[in-house]
Amino acid sequence: MFRVKDGCRLLLVAGLALSLTTACGGSGDGDGPSWATPPAGGAEGGGDKHSPGRVKAYDPPLKFQDDGGAQYVAGGTGEGKWSVRLKGTTVYAASDDEVRAMNVLDGEELWSVKPKGRPAEDTDYGTEAVGGPELVELDGRPAVLAAFSITRPGTGTTPDRQLIELTAVAADSGKRLWTTELERPEGEEEGEPYVAGVDDSAVVFSFGGSGSAVTMGVSLDTRKTSWTEEGFYADFVDGSVVVGRGGADSVLGGGVSVEGRNIADGSEMWTYKERLNSAELSPAGDGLFTAVVDAPFERDTDIATLLTTDTGKEPPKLRAAKPFGDPTDLTCWNAEDTALLCAVAEKFDKRLVAVDPGTWTELWSVADDDESRLMPSISTVFHGAVYGTTENGSVILDARTGKDRSADSGGTPFLVNEYVGLFGGSIGEIEARRAVG
């Protein structure tokens, strides 16, 4: 019995900018086993040694500790790429040769696991992102999935073999629950796999990039490859739908398409557009994603829109309401049931727009040429609070009204929950600062 746990993932490339790779909500669940998350409001914890007895929750937090109280999580000079997920007071971080858990309140490393096999020496070759970690429940027990590229040494006339090591680790203790070795797809012997996502039955890997791609589904029951799709690059998983780009191995022939596939067997569920020069897909949360495409055979070649992951179509009423105009670029964040925040570009005009997710009517907006107000650059959204920055520094807005809730809040986090914010440091490290207001 498997169950997917929510969380937040972010890719860090040392020395470069941060880029969010999945939509996220960082709070812990109210059901299921404990994920080292103290009860809201600072009630006594459940006895987990990794959970503080009392931790005050701020829902949402409007102020964080300054730099002096920051706790190191991962990354920095020479540390390479890291992907992180925040869950309660624990952050899970994965690189190409390690997965670890850290207490974000005091910086204590709770556990660290490395691959059993010999790490491959060329894991940065041709990859778009580092894989994992993914949070699941295995037989009712919270677990972390991580994938590594490894090399099985050859002997005699037998050459080395490049494999994928998929490891399940107990989230609380770091105990290795199981490890399996997987054959890499033909033609993808190099490079770190990108873990696109997981549901309660399977985990999905992507290999390659825009010129050549393969996606592979692996059953969590049998721990074996259940399907492979050449020419398809999975960008993310939402429920049982794998959303990605088809035609990745035939750009010069038929062009790229935007597709949704069934995570169980890889079968095609829907296609949004075909014969595209390019497509950028980003999850927006709550069953939505944005697609920014270059469609050379349509009247408007640069198209950006909001689609549903289960149908690949625009949500009902969105076309009639038309809150974004005719955008050429679009990035959205879901503020739960409060609002949907979208950074909209229409050629050279830029706006931040909040819409009602039920009616798709505009709640408020601010443009980059507004002389009465600065348009913030948004980093994340959590429980009705919008975190961003302007030329004046950090700012937190109310998602529903657009009004400033806090300014100079102690920096601009890229991930937030009731207890902590995660921040990018000056040399590419990830650090945690406790919420204090």
pLDDT at site 23: 37
User: What integer is the mean pLDDT of 139-153?
Assistant: 93
User: What integer is the mean pLDDT of 242-269?
Assistant: 83
pLDDT at site 62: 95
The neighbouring-strand residues paired with 61 are none
- CA-wise closest residue to 271 among 258, 261, 282, 256: 258
Say whether pLDDT at 168 is over 90.
Answer: yes
pLDDT band at 210 (very low <50, low <70, confident <90, very high): low
pLDDT at site 122: 60
User: What integer is the mean pLDDT of 165-183?
Assistant: 96
- φ/ψ of 320, rounded to 5, equals -70, -40
> SS3 string of 113-136?
ECCCCEECCCCCCCCCCCCCCEEE
Query: What's the burial of 234, exposed, middle or buried (CB within 10 Å: 0-12/13-18/19+)?
Result: buried
pLDDT band at 192 (very low <50, low <70, confident <90, very high): confident
Question: Where in the sequence is the domain holding 44, given as residue range(s)?
Answer: 2-434
Distant-in-sequence, close-in-space partners of 157: CB < 8 Å, separation ≥ 6: none
- CA-wise closest residue to 128 among 199, 188, 67, 38: 188
pLDDT band at 131 (very low <50, low <70, confident <90, very high): low
Tell me the CATH number at 218: 2.130.10
pLDDT band at 211 (very low <50, low <70, confident <90, very high): low
User: What integer is the mean pLDDT of 362-376?
Assistant: 95
Q: Which residue has the higher pLDDT, 249 or 267?
A: 267
User: What integer is the mean pLDDT of 120-126?
Assistant: 58
Structural domains counted in the chain? 1
pLDDT at site 47: 37
- 35-43: which pairs have CB atoms within 8 A and are 24 or more residues apart? 35/5, 35/87, 35/88, 35/90, 35/135, 35/142, 35/171, 36/87, 36/88, 36/89, 36/90, 36/103, 36/110, 36/171, 36/172, 37/87, 37/88, 37/89, 37/90, 38/88, 38/89, 38/419, 40/418
Token readout for 436 is 């204090």
- φ/ψ of 185, rounded to 5, equals -60, 150
Q: Where are the alpha helices (DSSP H) in 7-94?
A: none
Q: In this prediction, what percent of the chain has a pLDDT beyond 70?
A: 83
User: What integer is the mean pLDDT of 235-251?
Assistant: 85
pLDDT at site 389: 95
Could you tell me what percentage of the chain is helix, strand and coil, using 3-state DSSP and rounding each to the nearest 5? 0, 50, 50
Distance CA 417, CA 406 (A): 16
pLDDT at site 145: 96
pLDDT at site 301: 80
User: What integer is the mean pLDDT of 397-411?
Assistant: 91
Residue type, 15: G
- CA-wise closest residue to 35 among 58, 7, 64, 68: 7
pLDDT at site 46: 35
User: What integer is the mean pLDDT of 99-123?
Assistant: 90
pLDDT at site 96: 87
pLDDT at site 241: 98
pLDDT at site 220: 96
Say whether pLDDT at 133 is over 80.
Answer: yes
Query: What's the burial of 389, exposed, middle or buried (CB within 10 Å: 0-12/13-18/19+)?
Result: middle
Distance CA 230, CA 232 (A): 6
Token readout for 99 is 């997965």
